[in-house]
């Protein structure tokens, strides 16, 4: 028996909105530790890694490890039926081929449930080694989304370069070039507005705008985003989900041929 | 021209 209750169903809806651009379907691995998902986009350039801890749920029970393959478009349809303030309870029997989502309104005056068919998906998991990153940038997630959106107008790639002076985002294309430089700023009153850089050595890497733009769909999940970079290693873009876990995106760099 | 790397170039399949 699997049962997970989340008072803020909107958090799960935000997670779905953040990954549906990249993934059509995905397997949710449920265990006593929580719910995990790891899946690559169809071109194997980026990877989504979701970790929702069991103790972040308002109720969590998983008697037997369970992998639930879901079509994310269908899952999106189910969550479209929920109210913004609803509580969601996910339930599945052991070896079940369906999962049930029950939505309860805040006042408990409306309860709806939707049963969705599960899928058998070929799971491809990648082993991601622990990496000593050359630089770790933490910045407001809204600012990151804005910069990626703005620079995407100039070219298909964005160069992210980080030095002790700050971080620079650059793009160039037919119409010209764009550069955005951010210096470190410590705002002790509003931590979420700070830009912080933990630098071991300067690094500059090039990434496809299309994927960076998709990652920023996770902006509503977190005030801050963490970018971890290292030469010859994919970029890690991490959004902390308060009290529940994190959503990470991995993106292979572009390299000179 | 930039060549797009794939994740398998960096990570192993489990």
pLDDT score, position A138: 97
Chains A & B: contacts with CB separation below 8 Å: 55
pLDDT digits (tens, 9 = 90+) for A188-201: 888 889 999 999 99
Q: How far apart are the first and last CA of chain A?
A: 51
Q: How confident is the model at residue A124, as a pLDDT? A: 81
**Is this complex scored with an ipTM above 0.90?**
yes
Give B5's contacts in chain A (Cβ within 8 Å): 45, 234, 252-255
> Is B11 within 8 Å of A127 when comparing Cβ atoms?
yes
- A196-199 and A135-140 strand pairing: antiparallel
Q: Which residue has the higher pLDDT, A232 or A237?
A: A237
What's the confidence (pLDDT) of residue A187?
79
For range A206-220, the mean pLDDT: 98
Task: Report which of A69, A15, A224 is spatially closest to residue A139, judged by C-alpha positions.
Answer: A224
Whether A252 sits inside 8 A of B9 (CB atoms) is yes
pLDDT in tens, A89-117: 999 998 889 999 999 999 999 999 999 99
pLDDT tens figures, A65-86: 999 999 999 999 999 999 999 9
How high is the pLDDT of residue A122? Answer: 84
Percentage of chain A lying above the pLDDT 70 cut: 100
Residue A143: closest CA among A166, A172, A176: A166
A104 CB neighbour count, 10 Å cutoff: 21
DSSP state letter for B3: E
Residue A140 has pLDDT above 70, yes or no: yes
Q: For A123, name the nearest residue in chain B, comparing CA atoms only.
A: B14
- Residue A128 to residue B11, Cβ atoms within 8 A: yes
Tell me the pLDDT band of B1, cut-offs 50, 70 and 90. Answer: low
pLDDT of residue B14: 84
Q: What are residue A103's DSSP bridge partners?
A: A88, A112
Least Cα separation, residue B9 to chain A (angstroms): 9
State the pLDDT at residue A104: 98
Residue B3 and residue A256: Cβ atoms within 8 Å?
A: yes
Judged by CB atoms closer than 8 Å, whether chains meet at B2 and A157 is answered as yes
CA distance B6 to chain A (A): 5
| pLDDT number for residue A257 | 66
What would the pLDDT profile of A5-45 be if each residue is shown by its tens digit? 999 999 999 999 999 999 999 999 999 999 999 999 999 99
User: Per mean pLDDT, which range of A151-155, A171-175, A187-191 is the poorest?
Assistant: A187-191
Contacts of A126 in chain B (CB under 8 A): 7-8, 11-14
Contacts of A205 (CB under 8 A, 6+ apart): A159, A160, A161, A229, A231, A235, A253
A207-229 mean pLDDT: 98
> Quick one: average pLDDT of A191-215?
96
């Amino acid at each position: 028996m699997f049962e997970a209750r989340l008072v803020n169903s909107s958090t799960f809806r935000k997670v779905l909105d953040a990954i549906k651009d990249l993934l059509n379907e995905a397997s949710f691995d449920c265990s006593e530790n929580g719910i995990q998902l790891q899946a690559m986009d169809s071109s194997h350039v980026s990877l989504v890694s979701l970790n929702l801890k069991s103790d972040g749920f308002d109720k969590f029970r998983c008697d037997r490890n369970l992998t639930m393959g879901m079509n994310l478009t269908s899952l999106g349809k189910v969550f479209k039926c929920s109210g913004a303030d609803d509580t969601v309870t996910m339930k599945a029997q052991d070896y079940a081929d369906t999962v049930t989502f029950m939505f309860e309104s805040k006042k408990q005056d409306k309860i709806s449930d939707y049963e969705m068919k599960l899928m058998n998906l070929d799971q491809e998991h990648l082993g991601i080694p622990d990496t000593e990153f050359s630089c770790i940038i933490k910045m407001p997630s809204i600012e990151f989304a804005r910069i990626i959106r703005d620079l995407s107008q100039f070219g298909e790639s964005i160069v992210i370069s980080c030095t002790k002076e700050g971080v620079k985002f650059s793009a160039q294309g037919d119409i010209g070039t764009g550069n955005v430089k951010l210096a470190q700023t410590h705002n002790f009153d509003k931590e979420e507005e700070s830009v912080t850089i933990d630098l071991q050595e300067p690094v500059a890497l090039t990434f496809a705008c299309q994927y960076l733009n998709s990652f920023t769909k996770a902006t509503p999940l977190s005030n801050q985003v963490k970018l971890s970079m290292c030469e010859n290693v994919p970029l890690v873009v991490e959004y902390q989900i308060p009290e529940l876990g994190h959503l990470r995106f991995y993106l292979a760099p572009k390299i000179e041929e | 021209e930039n060549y797009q790397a794939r994740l398998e170039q960096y990570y192993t399949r489990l």
